[in-house]
Structure 1
């Protein structure tokens, strides 16, 4: 019954594992208007590139990094044709990624989508506060005007 999620970009990134060796593992990354979905890469067959339209299927177990739980995206460095960046979660957990530097880098796409999401949340919150205070003024405003 959930609505299809709009896919903004789909392609390959490398994520640093959280284990002792901290190896870089290729992941298929799907950027949606709700966050990131990281799937195990089944080889580099789909080449990764622009956004495929429509909805996102969650076939295999995907790790989901939702914007509501993200704090920021930090670009760490550009080195040997790669961009290294970190997604910082609201809990303080840091998840390291790297991607090729050519074209629009993933860190920029993710950061812009995160800002867009946070702005929409702030606007919605402001509207809710405005509606709430307007309804309170309508009922109690007459009593205070004695």
Structure 2
């Protein structure tokens, strides 16, 4: 996936099928329709059009666990260290698309934070300078 630095908010970066391991005792693989945007992964089950969302602000990282001939197994780790297991066909590369979208999201947030913390003091100093009383000219 080529890096897209200028995605529009909500733009779909990837859509297709992947499988999520259930939390039940049997831990069955359930097919989901995934929709990846610039700030989240939506998962739709076959029986419902309601989506479960994994927003990137709550994701710590994507770990690639194993490659087999048929599947790539990967885990999304949330900021509270919950692990959600997925698998996809090797040619669909869901793990790579999610990882790149997450990195772009984290970079965007870091730049916004830098600008906010770096530029606010400069703007504040400029405001203070413009509010200082000027001495009359001789």
Query: What TM-score results when the alignment is normalised by the length of structure 2?
Result: 0.81
- Alpha-carbon displacement from aligned partner over 1:63-117 (angstroms, at most 9, x marks no partner): 0000111000000000132100000111110100000012x51000000000000
What is the deviation of 1:34?
Answer: 1.4
Q: Cα distance, 1:21 vs. partner?
A: 0.8
Does structure 1 residue 124 correspond to structure 2 residue 112?
Answer: yes
Q: Secondary structure at the match of 1:92?
A: coil
Cα drift, residue 5 of structure 1 = 1.7
1:85 aligns to 2:74 (yes or no): yes
Match of 1:55 in 2: none
| C-alpha RMSD over aligned residues | 2.0
Measure, in 2, the Cα distance between the counterparts of 1:68 and 1:124: 14
Corresponding position of 2:123? 135
- Deviating above 2 A after TM superposition, structure 1's stretches of 4 or more consecutive aligned residues are 135-140
Asked if residue 37 in structure 1 is aligned to residue 42 in structure 2, the reply is yes
Alignment equivalent of 1:9, drawn from 14, 18, 26: 14
Larger Rg: 2
Query: Is residue 107 from structure 1 mapped to residue 72 from structure 2 by the alignment?
Result: no
Offset of 1:8 from its aligned partner?
0.6
Q: Could you state the TM-score of these two structures normalised by the residue count of structure 1? A: 0.77
Task: Give 5+ residue unaligned stretches, structure 2.
Answer: 1-7, 133-138
